[in-house]
């Protein structure tokens, strides 16, 4: 059975390798353009080289019986000065653990260059808890620098769809949405920092921020407490009037102590999102595990502010991040749009996978959401907010603009698909309010508009997609949207 091995680093020095099963003859990869000088980035103290590796003749074999994986091939890397291309054979082996990962280490017989360390980690993507489908992070360390390269391997492609999750396209026909993945998928999130900690004998650089001893000279000022004279005040025999123990009544102000809510070290609310490995693969080719039921959240919350409008479809499942965002939108609706409830359409199936006509919605990161209308009855379902080629008179641009800025401000949002006429109106509104100026690429309004993707199929709802967070290590992030607000 053949398998596909693809490289996920799209860089000038990259070579994509397509190799058959390791039990067959390897297919040589084709060399591309000459490499550039590597870019060194800081990864929590580790020096990691980017854009400086390529894979040749790579093959991956996972044995279901022994639950073992073998990786063979060659990795080439560019010296830090960009003057020389070095190469190292790969012969890595490992066993699948209970959590679906394989730590791959060099075979004892493999000859490594002096001072060079090589290791890898495979993250399994297969639903049947095997590693016939996986992505592999390969690491080389030399002279305190770690080279990283990620490849994707598919040994077979059997997807499971349980009867509970099975819904035909006909049943979802009314959705008739042509949403897009919008761009090429990038790398899988992985856990690079943790991988380096476990697999390589490399130490991160120490932090040097503490040596701020300047304030110490101020300490002598503390010696100024010569005003010991006040100590003479100690003879305040005032304590004698102890008989006025009635003063404890003054302790009543202690009741004011309950004003302790002052210690509101309001940490980033997003930090409260439960960490879980849920989203697998990309939005248009993935699945979902340990899903959150938005319907359960709705039913267990008093006045949630949102409502699943088609619960019978059983397409109301999500990751923790998307569930959090929808809850926040519900709270926003309660606060800003009195008497209305935010209508939520399809998100994902409980186990993810293909969902009717949708091109995405496969791994719990996508949700279809109704627009706000001044006419509350239109808020209960998906109603077009576009009339002809202009925004409908009852669509609420001001509150919609405020909502979009609010959710983009959480740093969770990847994209929001919306009809181009509606985005144009929001551009006009932001410029009119003085919130956006030409050349602005850093403000929240500019970032919000950048993530509002115009699409003619999204006139009766908007489609919000959250990013792969660091908690979703098996998640494959889409490429970032183009820079610029798209308003000028």
pLDDT tens across 96-105, in order? Answer: 999 999 999 9
pLDDT band at 259 (very low <50, low <70, confident <90, very high): very low
Of the ranges 174-183, 198-207, 448-457, the best mean pLDDT one: 448-457
Read off the pLDDT of residues 272-324 as tens digits, 9 standing for 90 and up. 888 899 999 999 999 999 999 999 999 999 999 999 999 999 999 999 999 99
pLDDT band at 477 (very low <50, low <70, confident <90, very high): very high
Average pLDDT of 219-238?
A: 50
Spatial CB neighbours of 441, under 8 Å, sequence gap ≥ 6: 450, 483, 484, 485
Query: Domain coordinates of the chain in residue numbers?
Result: 4-156, 272-478
Hey, CA dihedral for 337, 343, 349, 355, is it positive or negative? negative
User: Pseudo-torsion of CA 377, 379, 383, 387, nearest 10°?
Assistant: 80
Q: Which pLDDT belongs to residue 447?
A: 97
Euclidean distance between CA atoms 284 and 362, whole angstroms: 6
Average pLDDT of 359-387?
A: 88
Euclidean distance between CA atoms 61 and 22, whole angstroms: 6
Q: Which pLDDT belongs to residue 4?
A: 62
Q: Which pLDDT belongs to residue 219?
A: 52
Average pLDDT of 178-207?
A: 84
Q: Are 344 and 368 in contact (CB under 8 A)?
A: yes
413: left (phi over 0), alpha (psi -120 to 50) or beta: beta
Query: Among residues of the chain, what percentage have pLDDT more than 90?
Result: 63
> pLDDT at residue 91 above 50?
yes
- The distance from CA 445 to its chain's CA centroid, rounded to whole angstroms, is 21
Q: Which residue has the higher pLDDT, 242 or 64?
A: 64
> pLDDT at residue 415 above 50?
yes
Paired sense of beta strands 462-466 and 366-369, if any: antiparallel
**Over the chain, what is the mean pLDDT?**
81
Query: Among residues of the chain, what percentage have pLDDT more than 70?
Result: 73
Q: Which pLDDT belongs to residue 158?
A: 45
Provide the 10 A C-beta neighbour count for residue 34: 10
Read off the pLDDT of residues 27-72 as tens digits, 9 standing for 90 and up. 333 334 454 678 899 999 999 998 899 999 999 999 999 999 999 9
> pLDDT at residue 264 above 70?
no
Read off the pLDDT of residues 218-228 as tens digits, 9 standing for 90 and up. 555 445 545 45
Read off the pLDDT of residues 145-170 as tens digits, 9 standing for 90 and up. 999 999 999 986 444 433 344 444 44
> pLDDT at residue 255 above 80?
no
pLDDT band at 381 (very low <50, low <70, confident <90, very high): confident
What is the CATH number that goes with domain 272-478? 3.30.1380.10
């Amino acid at each position: 059975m053949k398998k596909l091995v693809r490289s996920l680093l799209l860089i000038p020095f990259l070579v994509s390798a397509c190799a058959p099963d390791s039990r067959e003859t390897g297919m040589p990869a084709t060399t591309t353009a000459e490499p550039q000088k590597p870019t060194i980035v800081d990864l929590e103290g580790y020096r990691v080289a980017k854009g400086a590796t390529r894979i040749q003749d790579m093959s991956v074999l996972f044995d279901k019986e022994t639950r073992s994986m073998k990786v063979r091939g060659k990795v080439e890397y560019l010296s830090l000065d960009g003057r020389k291309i070095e190469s190292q054979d790969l012969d890595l082996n490992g066993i699948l653990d209970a959590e679906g990962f394989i730590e791959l280490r060099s075979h004892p017989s493999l000859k490594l260059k002096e001072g060079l360390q090589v290791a890898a980690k495979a993250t399994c993507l297969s639903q049947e808890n095997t590693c016939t489908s996986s992505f592999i992070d390969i690491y080389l360390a030399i002279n305190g620098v770690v080279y990283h390269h990620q490849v994707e391997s598919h040994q077979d492609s059997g997807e499971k769809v349980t009867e509970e999750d099975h819904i035909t396209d006909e049943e979802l026909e009314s959705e008739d949405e042509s949403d897009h993945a919008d761009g090429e998928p990038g790398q899988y999130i992985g856990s690079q920092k943790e991988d380096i900690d476990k697999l390589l004998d490399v130490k991160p650089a120490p932090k040097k921020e503490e040596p701020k001893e300047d304030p110490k000279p101020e300490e002598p000022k503390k010696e100024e407490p010569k005003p010991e004279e006040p100590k003479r005040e100690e003879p305040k025999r005032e304590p004698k009037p102890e008989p006025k123990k009635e003063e404890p009544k003054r302790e009543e102000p202690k009741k004011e102590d309950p004003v302790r809510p002052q210690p509101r070290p309001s940490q980033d609310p997003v930090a409260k999102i439960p960490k879980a490995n849920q989203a697998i693969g990309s939005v248009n080719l993935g699945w979902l595990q340990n899903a959150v039921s938005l319907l359960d959240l709705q039913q267990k919350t008093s006045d949630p502010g949102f409502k699943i409008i088609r619960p019978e479809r059983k397409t109301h499942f999500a990751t923790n991040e998307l569930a959090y965002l929808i809850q926040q939108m519900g709270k926003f609706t309660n606060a800003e749009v009195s008497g209305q409830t935010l209508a939520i359409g399809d998100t994902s199936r409980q186990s993810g996978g293909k969902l009717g006509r949708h091109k995405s919605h496969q791994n719990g990161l996508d949700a279809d959401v109704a627009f706000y209308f001044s006419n509350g009855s239109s808020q209960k379902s998906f109603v077009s907010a576009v009339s002809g080629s202009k925004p409908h008179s009852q669509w609420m641009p001001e509150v919609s603009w405020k909502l979009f800025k609010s959710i983009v401000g959480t740093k969770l949002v990847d994209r929001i698909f919306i009809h181009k006429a509606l985005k144009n109106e929001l551009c006009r509104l932001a410029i009119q309010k003085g919130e956006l100026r030409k050349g602005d690429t850093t403000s929240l309004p500019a970032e919000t508009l950048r993530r509002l993707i115009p699409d003619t199929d999204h006139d009766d709802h908007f489609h919000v997609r959250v990013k792969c967070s660091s908690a979703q290590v098996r998640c494959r992030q889409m490429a970032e949207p183009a820079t610029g607000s798209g308003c000028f």
